[in-house]
Chains A and B, each alone.
Chain A
Amino acid sequence: MGALADGLRRLRSLVWRRRLEDGLDDEIRFHVEQQTEKNQRAGMTPDEARRQALIRFGGVEQVRERTRDEFRAAPIENLARDVRYGLRSLRRHPGFTAMAVLSLAVGIGANAAIFGVAHALLFRQSPLADPDTLVNIYEAESAGQFNPMSYPNIEDLRRGTTQVFSGIAASAICVAQIDHGGTGATVMGEAVTGGAFALLGVAPQLGRAIQPEDDVARGGHPVVMLSHGYWQRAFGGDPRVVGRTLQMGRRGYTIIGVAPADYRGGLPAVTPAFFVPMTMLDELMGIEMLDRRFNHSMLVKARLAPGVARVQAAHAASLVAASLTSTRPEGWIPGEQFELVPTSDVQVVPGVDPLLRAAAWLLIAVVGLVLLLACTNLASFLVARAVDRGQEIAVRRALGASRGALARQVLVESALLGLGGAAAGLLLALALLQLLLSIDLPLPYGLRLDVAFGLGWRTLFDWRVLAFTAGAGMMAGVFLGLVPAVHGTRADLGSALKAGSKGSDAPGPLRWRNAMVVAQIAMSLVLLVGAGLFLRSWQQTLAVDPGFGRAPTAILSVIMPVARTAPDAAVPRTRRLLERFRALPGATAVGLIWPLPLELSSSDTGFTIDGRQPPAGRETFRASRATVDGGFFDAAGMTILAGRTFDDRDGRDSQPVAIISQAMARRYWPDGDALGRILRRPDPGEADLMIVGVVSDVTVRSLGEAPRDVVYQSYTQGQPLPGASFVVRTAGDPARMSLALLGAGQQVDPDLRVLQTMTMAQHLAAARLPSQIGAFLLAAFAVLGVALAAIGVYGTVRYTVAMRTREVGIRMALGADAAGVARLLASRGLRLVLVGGAIGVVASLLAARLLASLLFGVGTFDPVALAGAPLVLGAAAWLAAYLPARRASRANPLAALRAD
């Protein structure tokens, strides 16, 4: 029972108040009449009887009043009155109200937007049944690695762990050319093992899920399940979609169902458009993925059998790895291990998660700081108001209002501001998110971040975000109201009344205000320095020379379907494409490579060198590997430093050759005698290579990495290529060239499966994306922070100016010049700025250390950022302090003197 029920009853009686009151009158009348009748029966005259009855009753009016008090819903009524009063007084000060609500809206809006995105991208878990018994499994060549698995390894693991796992589900990202509604598009999907949906406990929202029966014979199950997002995008959420046929690649797939809206596939943050059975993967992609033990592309989840602990499962898995190492099947890297990670601990991939988390926390800290800035603004406004209202409050107290009532009044007012700020902040967050989502991120394969689509705003603004926003607003309001509520209502009555006008010196509140300005300056300086560091870091990534693609270049990435029966057809086919591209007008240099540097995927190879010992515990050295044609280095703007590039000499039957990176040549042959050396490759199916050239370094996996050892092979030797990126340097517009490549390629080879067309600039932009996003977000928030701090300084200076109106009048009347007065008035604000700035510099030095892991090419002690930020902030603060001061100094001295 208690408060809530009591409140409800009071609320009810508030509603029924009029009726109750009528009833009370009737009841009293009835009572008096009864007493009168009794008196009459006792022998009184009618008049006397009524008089005695009334006396006996004891004052009808008092009883009525006291009774009314009993059923009056006092607290609620008072609250309603306070709210009305608060709204009225906020309306009376529109400037103050607008500033306060706007400040809060900015703070809360930024928070809600970031919280929404972070929640949607990182902290939202897919709806897996009983997630505590699920583990993700990765392959690791050494500790700390979390590589996707290969299908043969999964099969071996499955056979060896039937005791500890009740099931293993694998998924592989794949792309398909989907012809739908008259247009073809390359769409990303997922191939899943037949038992995956059942194992994870994901039930379809429409039709049925992929089942084990759908995953038996290679290429035998052309069925597809749509993701919620793709179903909405491509089919408008049509419920009759089940049973229809979707043209994927060269084959029609029957749509069997639609996955639930909140299932995001094996790799969160990027929801696939469709799901097909694993046995369809090779056919759909046109390449062999399933039988290649070295093809690491499967994301794996397994469910622990009942009563089995993760360590037991890990032990069973390590036995499988050990037996593979001893039997050495082709493609197994000896010494490799299986890593088990609880599924609920993984956001995206264990290797990337710490960075993502750090980034998310950084953002949350930054928007928290912005909110704090907004709150200090609000707080200092409230304190100023409380001082302004000192006299009003003193009068009301003198008239008998209790201190509690007055404090409640102040609190209600600030809570109203808080709620107003929260509402406005939510609108702002919506606008902000719209903006964020409208930004066209240069992601490969037409990938889109899975933030909003599919689930729409419901995801972003689920109850948690709403609760967060409303809570933040209320908390801000109430907390901030506490200071003035306590301070303002404590004022000594006598002196407050006597002090008269605004001129009252209230050192307490002013000190508060000053402290807040100092804090604001310090906080916004931290934000600015952080933004400066990220901008510098981004600048550094722009300055990094990736080692290739400096000239305007177009790229066409394709998958090369290889007929198992005719592996020899691959090379002539590729050569035809190269020749056709060379003939394109505007093509200055043409080449191909697989995989493209700075792409999502990379490949490597093991080798030994005569006379050198591999590192302890290893049987081979390892290096990145890429397959190219002889023209690639020229097309990509790389330089042959020694030896030669590949040419017609290098065929299927001639000596297998390699070109190595400069870094690799320096490492193994520092004397410059790399040419002619042999890379021995013990892995089955890999030929020994003779080094015929050394080429300049490129960044392979990430911008700014140390130069890697890379072994380049010719596409005319070794395994047929699963895909290729054709790289064409052009004198003209690279975007147009990439389209020309697409047209020409499809003309030569109608079977060509296009992954994407792009320019080299777009490709490099994707690699720079993280630091760019970080820099721009932080810069945006820093600007917000500075604006908020400027508003704070402005408010404080204006306030002190207002308090000293009379003094200014006297000075002016006595002949002080306007500029001097303005300087005098502004100086106080500027002094606060200096103090805040000093604190801020120290704080940013400390904060910068925390950013180290997210920065690139910039030390945490970066003179540019550390000097630039105070300059920007100083300029803004100076303006904010000087403007109101100057206005005051231009006021008419007479009017100033007369001001109350």
Chain B
Amino acid sequence: MLQGTLDMLVLKALQLEPMHGWGITERIEQWSEEVLQLGQGSLYPALYRMERQDFIRSEWRVTDNNRRARYYSLTARGRRYLNESLAQWRRMSRAINLVLDVTTVN
């Protein structure tokens, strides 16, 4: 997966509510109809990095079935970063699509 894309997906997953790492994997798999399977090898480094960059913050909470888990949530800075990334992504993918569409017509 493209560097930066992972960050965007993780932030997007956190947009609605705080979640733990496992939940983020599940949410992304679910949303992508099982197409995107996050390598956890990259998820946790990314989470820690983004926390350091102040895009997300974390706290320990108790889950529904009474387990202790670290929940991540978006910071204002993270939210801003997500919006920028999304806009950027949309511009990019639109541009790519345009190119691809042209090719198809020919």
Binding site for B on A (CB under 8 A): 5-6, 9-10, 13, 23-24, 26-28, 30-31, 33-35, 56-59, 62-63, 66-67, 69-71
Q: Mark B54-94, 1 if CB is under 8 A from A, else 0.
A: 10000010000001111000000000000000000000000
Residue in contact with A27 in the complex, picked from B41, B46, B49, B70, CB distance below 8 Å: B70
Taken together as a complex, chains A and B put the C-alpha atoms of A35 and B44 apart, in Å, by 15
A57-B40, A59-B41, A62-B41 given; A27·B52 CB < 8 A? no
Apart from A30-B68, A66-B42, 12 more pairs, CB < 8 Å: A6-B53, A9-B52, A23-B70, A24-B44, A33-B67, A34-B22, A63-B41, A66-B45, A67-B44, A67-B45, A70-B48, A71-B49
Contacting pair A27 B51 (CB below 8 A): no
Q: List 12 A-B contacts (CB under 8 A).
A: A5-B54, A24-B48, A27-B21, A27-B70, A34-B22, A57-B40, A63-B44, A66-B41, A66-B45, A67-B47, A70-B45, A70-B52
Q: Are B68 and A26 in contact (CB under 8 A)?
A: yes
Contact A30 B41, CB 8 Å, known A23-B60, A67-B48, A71-B52:
no
Give the distance to chain B from A20, nearest Cβ to Cβ, in Å.
Answer: 8
Q: How far is the CB of A345 from chain B (nearest CB, A)?
A: 51
What's the nearest-Cβ distance from chain A to residue B32, in Å? 16
Chain B interface size band reads 20 to 34
Interface of A is mostly: helix
**Do B41 and A70 have beta carbons less than 8 Å apart?**
no
A9 to B54, CA, bound (A): 9
B20 located at the interface, meaning its Cβ lies under 8 Å from any Cβ of chain A in the complex:
yes
B1 CB to closest chain A CB (Å) equals 14
Q: Which residue of A lies closest to B67 (CB)?
A: A30
In the complex the two chains form, what is the Cα distance from A575 to B47 in whole Å? 101
Kindly provide the distance from the CB of A41 to the nearest chain B CB, expressed in whole angstroms: 12
Contacts of A24 in B (CB 8 A): 44, 48
Instruction: Confirm or deny: B4 has a beta carbon within 8 angstroms of a beta carbon on chain A.
Output: no
Complex CA–CA separation, A35 to B43 (angstroms) = 15
Q: CA–CA, A222 to B40, complex, Å?
A: 88
Complex Cα distance, B69 from A56, in Å, reads 19
CB pair A27 B45 closer than 8 Å: no
User: How distant is B70 from chain A, measured CB to nearest CB, in Å?
Assistant: 5
CB distance from A34 to the nearest CB of B (A): 4
Q: Which of B20, B40, B69 contacts A63 (CB 8 A)?
A: B40
Say how far B82's CB is from chain A's closest CB, in angstroms.
17
Most chain A CB within a 10 A radius of its CB, from B40, B49, B68: B40
- Which residues of A sit under 8 angstroms from B70, Cβ to Cβ? 23, 26-27, 30
B42 proximity list for chain A (CB < 8 A): 66
- Cα-based distance from A33 to B49 in the complex (angstroms): 24
With A and B bound together, what is the CA distance between A26 and B54 in angstroms?
Answer: 22
Known contacts A24-B44, A28-B44, A56-B40; decide if A35 and B60 are in contact (CB<8 Å): no
Contact residues in B for A10 (Cβ distance below 8 Å): 52
User: Would you call B69 and A27 a contact (CB within 8 A)?
Assistant: yes
In Å, the complex CA distance between A58 and B44 comes to 12
With A23-B70, A27-B69, A27-B70 given, is the CB distance from A58 to B41 under 8 Å? Answer: yes
Q: How far is the CB of A501 from chain B (nearest CB, A)?
A: 46
Give min CB distance, A31 to chain B, whole Å: 5
Known: A9-B54, A30-B20, A56-B40. A63 touches B68 (CB 8 A): no
Interface centre among B21, B47, B52, B69 (most CB of A within 10 A): B52
Say yes or no: A58-B52 contact (C-beta < 8 A), given A23-B70, A30-B20, A30-B67.
Answer: no
Residues of B within 8 A of A56 (CB): 40
Considering the complex, give the chain B residue whose CB is closest to the CB of A20. B48
| Shortest Cβ distance from A13 into B: residue | B52
Residues of A within 8 A of B47 (CB): 67
Contact in complex: B22, A35 (CB < 8 Å): yes
In the complex, the answer to whether B41 meets A71 with C-beta atoms within 8 Å is no
A579 to chain B, nearest CB (A): 93
Which A residues are in CB contact (< 8 Å) with B20? 27, 30-31
Complex CA–CA separation, A9 to B67 (angstroms) = 29
Question: Which A residues touch B60, using CB under 8 A?
Answer: 23
Contacts of B45 in A (CB 8 A): 63, 66-67, 69-70
Shortest beta-carbon distance from B77 to chain A in Å: 8
Q: Residues of B contacting A62 with CB < 8 Å?
A: 41
> What's the nearest-Cβ distance from chain A to residue B62, in Å?
12
What residues on A are CB-neighbors of B49 within 8 Å? 70-71
Q: How far is the CA of A273 from the CA of B21 in the complex (A)?
A: 74
**Distance in Å: Cβ of B50 to nearest Cβ of chain A:** 9
Q: A69 contacts which chain B residues (CB < 8 A)?
A: 45
How many Å lie between the Cα of A336 and that of B21 in the bound state?
90
Q: How far is the CA of A537 from the CA of B13 in the complex (A)?
A: 84
* CB neighbours of B39 from chain A (8 A): 58
* B25 proximity list for chain A (CB < 8 A): 31
Complex: how many Å from CA A30 to CA B26?
14
Q: Identify A31's interface contact among B21, B46, B51, CB under 8 A.
A: B21
Q: Is the CB of A30 within 8 A of B69?
A: yes
A24 to B68, CA, bound (A): 12
- Taking CB atoms, residues of chain B closer than 8 Å to A66 are 41-42, 44-45
Q: How far is the CB of A127 from chain B (nearest CB, A)?
A: 43
Q: In the complex, what residue of chain B is closest to A28 when comparing beta carbons?
A: B44
Which B residue sits closest to A9, measured CB to CB? B52
Chain B residues, CB < 8 A from A6: 52-53
Cα A28 to Cα B54 in complex, Å, equals 21
Hey, which chain A residues are within 8 Å of B53, CB to CB? 6
Query: Sorted from nearest, which 7 A-B pairs have the closest CB atoms?
Result: A58-B41, A70-B48, A34-B22, A70-B49, A66-B45, A67-B44, A57-B40
CB <8 Å contact, A71 and B51: yes
State the CA gap A881–B53 with chains docked (Å).
58
Q: Which residues from B are CB-within-8-Å of A63? A: 40-41, 44-45
Query: Inside 8 A of A28's CB, which chain B residues have their CB?
Result: 44
Please judge, given known A-B contacts A23-B70, A67-B48, A70-B49, whether A57 and B21 are in contact too, CB under 8 Å: no
Bound complex: CA of A535 vs CA of B30, how far in Å?
Answer: 91
Q: Chain B residues near A34 (CB, 8 Å)?
A: 22
Determine the residue in chain A with the shortest Cβ distance to B77.
A1
Decide: A27 and B67 in contact? CB cutoff 8 A: no
Q: From residue A28, how far is it (CB to closest CB) to chain B in Å?
A: 7
- A58, chain B: closest CB distance, angstroms: 4
- Inter-chain CA distance A10–B51, complex, in Å, is 11
Query: CA separation between A71 and B53, bound complex, in Å?
Result: 10
Chain B residue at smallest Cβ distance from A34: B22
Residue among A10, A13, A28, A70 having the largest count of chain B Cβ atoms under 10 Å: A70
| Residues on B with beta carbons closer than 8 Å to the beta carbon of A59 | 41
The residue among B25, B41, B44 with the most chain A CB atoms within 10 A of its own CB is B44
Say yes or no: A31-B41 contact (C-beta < 8 A), given A9-B52, A23-B60, A67-B48.
no
